[in-house]
Structures are given as C-alpha cells and as structure tokens.
Amino acid sequence: MTGDIHIRKEGRAGRITLTRPKALNALSYDMAMAIEAALDDWRSDNDVALILIDAIGDKAFCAGGDIQQLYDSGCAGDFAFGRRFWADEYRLNAKIAHYPKPYVALMQGFVMGGGVGISCHGSHRVTCESTQIAMPECGIGLVPDVGGSLILARAPGRLGEYLGTTGTRMGPDDAIHAGFADAYVPELMWPTLTAALIESGDPSTIAAHAAPPPPGALRMLSSQIDRHFGGETLRDILNALRADDSDFARDTMKLLSRNSPLSMACTIEMIHRLRGPAADIARALGLEYRFTYRAMEQGDFLEGIRAAIIDKDRKPIWKHGLDSLPGSAVAQMLQPLGKNALTLEETRP
C-alpha cells in the first residue's frame, strides 16, 4: 500500500483501491503501472477469481489522469515523457479489456479520462446515485482516449459524436444507455455487495443487488442528437446546429464553442473510423495514440491545460477557430506514425 493506491488480495478477489481522494483519485503514471503489475500477477493466480477496483472518497472514483507532470515536461520541450505515459497507459487499458477474469469496477462520483480507462473496459461496471461519467478531453485539447473512442463509436445512434465533442456528463442511466456501464446499485448496498464479491468471487452477485437507475436525459434527446450530429465533419454538425433555433441547438453550440476545434474534428473522424464490427480496442488505442503523440507539439494540449488547470482563466487560445479549421488538419493529426506507432506488447524492463 502507498499513499495513492492499495493493492491486495482479499478472499477470492484481487483488490485495487485508489486512495488519493483529495486529488479526486487522479491516476498517476506510477499508479497505472502498479495496476498493470497486479493484473499480470493475478492472471494465473488460482486464488484470485475476480478483480475488484474501487476508490475511497465521495467525490470521485477517478476524475482523470495526473497531468501536471505531462504539462511541465511538455512546456520544457520534452515530449518523450508524455508519449511514454500514454503508450503505457493504453497498454493497461487493452489488458483490462481483454482480461481473462471478471473485472468489477465500482464507480462513484466523477469518472473521467483515465478513470474511464481503468473501469469502463471491465466486464462488470457498477454505478450509483452519484456517478458522473464523461469524456471531456476536447476541452483541454485532447481527444477521448484510453479506449473511450471505441465505446463512443459503439454508442446508439450519433450519441458518441455528441458525448465526445461536448464532454456531457452521464448519470447512471445515461452511462448504461451509452455503453459505459452495466448496472446500478444504490451506494448504501456497496458494502454488502463488496463483501459478497470478496467471499464468493462470483460477479453474478451484482444482479442480486442491482436496481433500476433513475431516468436520465439522453434517451429523450436521442432524436435531436441523431439529427444534428449525423454529418461527416465538424462543419456539418455546426451548420446543422446553427440552422436550428431550439434550446438544444443553442445549448449545444455553447458547449462546442468552448472546446478545441481541432480536437473535436479529430474526435468525430475517429468515431467514424471506429464504427463497425471490425474495430476493436487495439485499433482504437492506436488511432488515439496518433493524436496524443502529436498533441503537445502540434495540437492544443498545452494551451488547454494552461487555461483549465494552470492559470484557470478558462480562455484558451486554440490554434484554429470553429470556422477556420483547415481541411488538412485532421488528416495531419491522425496520419500513421510509422515506426513510432503504438505497440501493445510488453515494453517495461
């Protein structure tokens, strides 16, 4: 156990608990590598029947990655650390998606960015009253990553484009509808559920504790989302929204106007490429890495972090305006990386 994460075996479960609630359980590089090492150890451990990942604190399961070091290194002109961070984190995400044992995530409060990567690829994803899942990366000059682009591509209708570009938060019902979660269990029942999972090692006990979630908003908005987000490009979506005088269109335009146009345009293109039965987690992570590899040097990431986290002025100066994004910009950010392409094989010493 460290101050940030507690990894141990209890009963039939391999347990991972994030323990830095004052930082909203933000995922550091060392935490990610500790999770990966534990999963590797437990893969062939017959005493471990399932993985149970949770977090302490009421506000967040994990509100994202710990980006201070990414920002500092990038501002110093060192892009290698960020590229290694993302590559190693993505390898962990792929391992979770393909893990041979049940992987149960208890997700309270904020679940964003890196938090999505260590929970929403699991086989059993549990929400509660406070759950708020989102992929808000376009607001800091990134794209929905950690494999989140694949979940967005598999969401009903054009919901993926809407969630990926606006960063809209999903409560329990919305998250289940969009494919980011599986079940709703009232948080008062979590201690009982946790005890049952540890004792039995059987994830089917989740169903015995589950209940219908409170109704969300996304199902009611599906027709408007599909109508406005059905275009091939960001420009198509903006034109559709501007031609509509509805509250939905106006509110959505306000959300989009805050985010990086380059990030949003790339997000839409990525989701379109990943839509269909041939796409898998490896393809999604590889496509995401094309963007994140270039994000500091060629994208809006450092400016997005400055405006949101460092100076907190909420006034980012993006490289491109909503209506002045060159047609070639998306292709440049998503072109293959050649010898620098993401590999999901083990790379640690």
Residues with a known catalytic role: 65, 114, 137, 145
Q: Are 43 and 100 in contact (CB under 8 A)?
A: yes
Dist. CA 153–CA 156, nearest whole Å: 8
Dist. CA 286–CA 212, nearest whole Å: 36
Residue type, 124: H
Dist. CA 192–CA 241, nearest whole Å: 47
Count CB atoms within 10 A of the CB of residue 276: 9
Spatial CB neighbours of 284, under 8 Å, sequence gap ≥ 6? 147, 149, 150, 153, 270, 274
- Residue of 247, 264, 276, 249 lying closest to 323 (CA atoms): 264
Q: Are 322 and 256 in contact (CB under 8 A)?
A: yes
Dist. CA 179–CA 173, nearest whole Å: 10
What are the angstrom distances between the C-alpha of 311 and each of 26, 176, 297, 306? 19, 35, 20, 6
Instruction: Print burial letters for 128-155: b (CB count within 10 Å at least 16), e (below 16).
Output: bebbbbbbbbbbbbbbbbbbbbbbbbbb
Dist. CA 32–CA 89, nearest whole Å: 6
For the CA atoms of 145, 4, 80, 341, the dihedral, rounded to the nearest 10 degrees, stands at -40
Q: Return the SS3 of 252.
A: helix
Dist. CA 233–CA 268, nearest whole Å: 7
- Residue of 88, 73, 27 lying closest to 305 (CA atoms): 73
Dist. CA 16–CA 31, nearest whole Å: 10
